[in-house]
């Protein structure tokens, strides 16, 4: 058991603890960087984020908004308590059980999350668009027998139960819990109040599955203290969340980016969040104007898509913009800053570490750089063996701090992710003399062509700076002479024709902006690019297409 917490587990069902990686494969955990990280051995993060806020004077403060409805902290606590009673009394949930949670971003998703946590169980939240086959894999992998699901997703939920019969105790809910769904009715029948389970600080509280950017989803396990650590290292010291802040954002709550940004971060400091189930560029801007939003969280592609519409909305309340999920290209940062005057806070995080660990805010921002390790974290650049490299050299990004990788029953992946006690994120970075970290590529986004190492994201960033390009993804395409060539998949802005002249214009632009050998020798125009539900490009799908075309028989 790593870390300072040595509290006895409250889990009756020991599945999660039994499937943690062995001690010799766990990363070194560092709690020395911040006094705030000295958590007690007994800790329930649901109590810290709800009860403590009520005790500190926020009971009647708003916590969640949706449309014309606003819930206070006290109201959210009451609903979470009633859900915890339904889980333990009606559904037979005991501490340590995993509970599948499904739904779009709405208040009841948050109430269910807290109900599960307060019952001492483990949340396994899933993206709304996942299908039965994907859900059945998660159910089997995490040995899930209980589930709560938005009623609008009932059809796929039923198919999941057929594919994974162990999921045998489930209830449906509506977005605000005030309908006639089974969980709504069961909640209403409960008396107020519930005594939250006194979990250990290092009891598992959630199993988050990776978003599928690099292949099959992998379960990552996080403790109660981890949930607080991401707030106390990033939301407070870097973002500077205040009680009067109102946030909104596009990442799903099932994605750790969304859980932190829209639930944990605001609630650690008495702030509130506007829940929107489906976001588009104008929807987000409308939400800011309507609700007086002060901070938004979204991916780089969304910021770029919003830029042309900014002038049509009153964004006078907006003061914080955070980008994560993938690399923020400098042209996107500059376009947003020119349109709004707001400096985007970039950050790199990982599902394996729960949230962001390198970032910079305010005057410390250097456009194009991800930033520096946030308080409580350390980072360095290492070679393939995990040994540190000199300043300025490109290599693997290695991180350690108060959170770290714990794969669910996946020793092979654990060995690959943790080396010499550091988390190896899979990203290629370089660190400059001032300690700033500069993104080069994902490890599998590096293209080797005729002996040259070419960063796919560097070429993407160059293409994105061209006025014709709305989106793009750059991958290696097998080539018999060069080993591989640079290929770009490009989505053009409306009104731009996908002609050979456009191809040449974009190729010439790249040749003029960066080393000519990096230009895309092939450009393919697409109407859309493959992405995860969190907005991250799935370059591995494009790479696989190229491999299949090069060798259709798989020889």
Q: Which two tokens stand for residue 303?
A: 């910021």
> Computed from CA positions of residues 359, 463, 215, 103, in that sequence, does the dihedral angle turn out positive or negative?
positive
Angle (CA) 484 414 457, round 5°: 30
Is 440 inside a domain boundary?
no
Q: What is the pLDDT of residue 552?
A: 55
Q: What is the pLDDT of residue 211?
A: 62
Task: Please name the residues in contact with 393: beta carbons below 8 A apart, sequence gap of 6 or more.
Answer: 381, 430
Residue 3 pLDDT > 50, yes or no? no
Give the helix/strand (H/E) hosting 359: strand 356-359
**213-261 pLDDT, tens per residue?**
555 679 999 999 999 999 999 999 999 999 999 999 999 999 999 999 9
Q: What is the pLDDT of residue 399?
A: 98
**Looking at 167-176, 267-276, 324-333, which range is the least confident one?**
324-333
Is 456 inside a domain boundary?
yes
Task: Please name the residues in contact with 232: beta carbons below 8 A apart, sequence gap of 6 or more.
Answer: 34, 36, 37, 268, 376
Q: What is the pLDDT of residue 1?
A: 34
**250-288 pLDDT, tens per residue?**
999 999 999 999 999 999 999 999 999 988 889 999 999
Whose tokens are 């009153």? That residue is: 314
User: How many Å apart are CA 276 and CA 298, to the nearest integer?
Assistant: 13
Residue 67 pLDDT > 70, yes or no? yes
Number of domains in the chain: 1
Q: Which two tokens stand for residue 153?
A: 């997703």
Residue 346 pLDDT > 60, yes or no? yes
Q: Name the residue range of residue 482's domain.
A: 450-550
Whose tokens are 């070679």? That residue is: 383
User: How many Å apart are CA 274 and CA 268, to the nearest integer?
Assistant: 16
Is 418 inside a domain boundary?
no
Closest CA to 372 of 444, 431, 420: 431
**416-444 pLDDT, tens per residue?**
999 999 999 989 999 999 999 999 887 87
CATH of the domain at 515: 3.30.300.30
User: How many Å apart are CA 50 and CA 52, to the nearest integer?
Assistant: 6
Asked if 220 and 248 count as a contact pair (C-beta separation under 8 A), the reply is no
- 3-class SS string, 276-310: CCCCCHHHHHHHHHHHCCCEEEECHHHHHHHHHHH
Task: Please name the residues in contact with 176: beta carbons below 8 A apart, sequence gap of 6 or more.
Answer: 66, 69, 106, 107, 108
Find residue 483's DSSP bridge partners: 479
Is 471 inside a domain boundary?
yes
Is 513 inside a domain boundary?
yes
**178-193 pLDDT, tens per residue?**
999 999 999 999 999 9
**Looking at 12-16, 24-28, 297-301, 415-419, which range is the least confident one?**
297-301
**347-357 pLDDT, tens per residue?**
999 999 999 99
Is 504 inside a domain boundary?
yes
Looking at per-residue pLDDT, the higher value among 399 and 480 belongs to: 399
Give the confidence band of 212 by pLDDT, cuts at 50, 70, 90. low
Is 354 inside a domain boundary?
no
Q: What is the pLDDT of residue 444?
A: 77
**Looking at 229-238, 292-301, 325-334, which range is the least confident one?**
325-334
**Strand ranges (DSSP E) for 366-482?**
372-373, 378-382, 395-400, 418-419, 422-431, 437-442, 446-449, 452-455, 469-479
Percentage of the chain modeled with pLDDT above 70: 97
Is 404 inside a domain boundary?
no
């Amino acid at each position: 058991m790593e870390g300072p917490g040595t509290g006895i587990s409250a889990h009756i069902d020991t599945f999660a603890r039994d499937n943690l990686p062995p001690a010799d494969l766990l990363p070194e955990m560092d709690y020395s960087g911040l006094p705030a990280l000295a958590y007690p051995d007994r800790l329930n993060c649901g109590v810290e984020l709800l009860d403590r806020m009520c005790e500190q004077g926020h009971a009647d403060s708003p916590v969640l908004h949706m449309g014309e409805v606003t819930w206070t902290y006290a109201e959210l606590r009451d609903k979470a308590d009633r859900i915890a009673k339904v889980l333990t009394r009606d559904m037979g949930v005991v501490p340590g059980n995993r509970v599948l949670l499904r739904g779009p971003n709405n208040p009841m998703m948050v109430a269910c999350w807290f109900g599960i946590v307060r019952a001492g169980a483990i949340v396994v939240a899933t993206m709304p668009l996942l299908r039965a086959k994907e859900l059945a894999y998660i159910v089997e992998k995490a040995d899930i027998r209980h589930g709560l699901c938005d009623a609008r997703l009932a059809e796929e939920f039923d198919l999941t139960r057929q594919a994974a019969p162990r999921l045998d105790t489930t209830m449906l809910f509506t977005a605000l819990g005030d309908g006639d769904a089974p969980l709504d009715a069961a909640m209403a029948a409960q008396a107020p109040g519930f005594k939250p389970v006194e979990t250990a600080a290092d009891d598992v509280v959630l199993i988050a599955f990776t978003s599928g950017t690099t292949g099959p989803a992998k379960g990552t396990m996080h403790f109660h203290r981890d949930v607080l650590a991401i707030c106390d290292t990033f939301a407070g010291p870097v973002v500077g969340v205040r009680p009067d802040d109102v946030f909104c954002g596009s990442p799903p709550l099932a994605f750790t980016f969304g859980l932190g940004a829209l639930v944990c971060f605001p609630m650690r400091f008495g702030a509130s969040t506007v829940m929107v189930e489906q976001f588009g560029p104008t929807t987000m801007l409308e939400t800011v104007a309507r609700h007086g939003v002060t901070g938004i969280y979204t991916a780089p592609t969304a910021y770029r898509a919003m830029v042309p519409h900014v002038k049509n909305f009153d964004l006078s309340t907006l003061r914080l913009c955070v980008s994560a999920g993938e690399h923020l290209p400098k042209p996107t940062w500059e376009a947003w800053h020119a349109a709004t005057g707001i400096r985007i806070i970039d950050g790199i995080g990982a599902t394996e570490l729960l949230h962001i660990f390198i970032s910079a805010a305010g005057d410390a921002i250097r456009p194009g750089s991800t930033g520096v390790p946030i308080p409580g974290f350390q980072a360095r650049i290492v070679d393939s063996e995990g040994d540190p490299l000199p300043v300025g050299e490109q290599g693997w990004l290695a991180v350690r701090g108060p959170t770290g990788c714990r794969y669910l029953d996946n020793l092979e992946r654990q060995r690959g992710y943790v080396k010499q006690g550091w988390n190896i994120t899979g990203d290629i970075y370089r660190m400059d003399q001032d300690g700033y970290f500069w993104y080069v590529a994902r490890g599998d986004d590096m293209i080797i062509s005729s002996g040259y190492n070419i960063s796919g994201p560097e070429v993407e960033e160059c293409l994105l700076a061209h006025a014709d390009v709305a989106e793009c993804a750059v991958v290696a395409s097998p080539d018999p002479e060069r080993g591989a060539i640079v290929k770009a998949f490009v989505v053009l802005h409306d009104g731009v024709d996908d002609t050979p002249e456009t191809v040449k214009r974009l190729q010439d632009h790249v040749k003029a902006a960066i080393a000519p050998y990096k230009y895309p020798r092939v450009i393919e125009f697409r109407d859309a690019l493959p992405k995860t539900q969190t907005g991250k490009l799935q370059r591995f799908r494009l790479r696989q297409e190229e491999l299949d075309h090069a060798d259709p028989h798989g020889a």
